[in-house]
Amino acid sequence: MSISNDSITKSVEIIENYLVKTRRYLHENPELSGEEFETSKFLKSEVQKLNLPITEVEGTGFYAILDTEKVGKTIGLRTDIDALPIVEKEENQKSKRVCKSKVNGKFHACGHDGYMAILLAAMHILVKNKDNLKGKIIFIFEEGEEICSGIGKMVEALEKEKIDVIYGAHLAAFLDTGKIAIDAGPVMAGNAIVDFTVRGKGGHGSRPDLSINPIFAATNIINGLASAWVNRVDVRKTVTLGLGMINGGTIANVIPDEVRVAGTLRYFDIEEGKKALEFVRKVGSLTAEAHECQFIENKIIQDNDPVINDKILSEFIQNSIEDIMPDSLAKDIIWFASESFAGYSKLCPTALAMIGTKNKEVGSGAEHHNEYFDIDEKSLTIATTIMVKFANDFLKAN
Question: Residues within the annotated binding site?
Answer: 110, 112, 146, 170, 369
The pair phi, psi for residue 107, each rounded to 5°, is: -155, 130
Strand segments (E) across 284-398: 294-304, 307-309, 350-358
Question: What is the rounded CA–CA span in Å between residue 342 and residue 313?
Answer: 15
How many other C-beta atoms lie within 10 A of the C-beta of residue 166? 24
CA distances from 50 to 73, 100, 197, 204, 346 (A): 21, 29, 51, 67, 30
Strands 62-67 and 136-142 turn out to be antiparallel
Q: What share of the chain is helix, strand, coil (3-state, %, to 5)?
A: 40, 25, 35
User: What residues contact 183, with CB distance under 8 A and at least 6 apart?
Assistant: 309, 314, 331, 332, 333, 334
Question: What is the rounded CA–CA span in Å between residue 38 and residue 60?
Answer: 9
Displacement of CA 298 from its chain's centroid (Å): 24
* Beta carbons of 398 and 72 less than 8 angstroms apart: yes
From the list 153, 197, 144, 177, the residue with the least C-alpha distance to 55 is 153
The annotated binding site for Mn(2+) is made up of 110, 112, 146, 170, 369
